[in-house]
Structures are given as C-alpha cells and as structure tokens.
Amino acid sequence: DYAELPDLPYDRDRLARLLPFGILAGPPKEDKMVVHFAPAPPDAADPQAAFTAVQPVGNVTIPLSAA
C-alpha cells in the first residue's frame, strides 16, 4: 500500500505539483494510483469537499511498482 506523505495545501492556481508518496508497511507489490479530474467550484477551499460536489470528467491510471 502507498500513501501521500505530506498534507499539501489546495492551490487551484498551480498547474502542477510534486506528489511525493511512500510505501507503507508490507512487502513490495505491483499497484496503481488513479488520478481523478473534475472542475473545481470557484469557492472551493477543501479538495475532498470539492470532489463530492462535482462529477469527475476523467482519470489517469499510473502503474506503481516498488519491486
């Protein structure tokens, strides 16, 4: 299992950001990360709340391997 390491602030003006993550306890294995895209409401301050209020418009699946 993987987890995003820092609790990064939500910044709607930024086009890209680093997304550091680390391996949680357990043996290495093949896995994937799915990134969902959705338009953010203009008054959005919390990304989790914003995603519950809108319909995703796409996603990208990124294979991960810690082997």
CA distance 40 to 67: 36
Domain edges within the chain: 2-65
CA distance 20 to 26: 19
Give the per-residue pLDDT at 15.
Answer: 54
In tens, the pLDDT along 23-58 reads 777 787 788 888 888 887 788 788 778 778 788 889
**Which tokens go with 10?**
């939500």
- The answer to whether the predicted template modeling score (pTM) of the entire model surpasses 0.85 is no
The Cα-based distances of 23 to 7, 8, 32, 47 in angstroms read 16, 18, 12, 23
CA distance 8 to 5: 9
Do 1 and 26 form a contact (C-beta atoms < 8 A)? yes
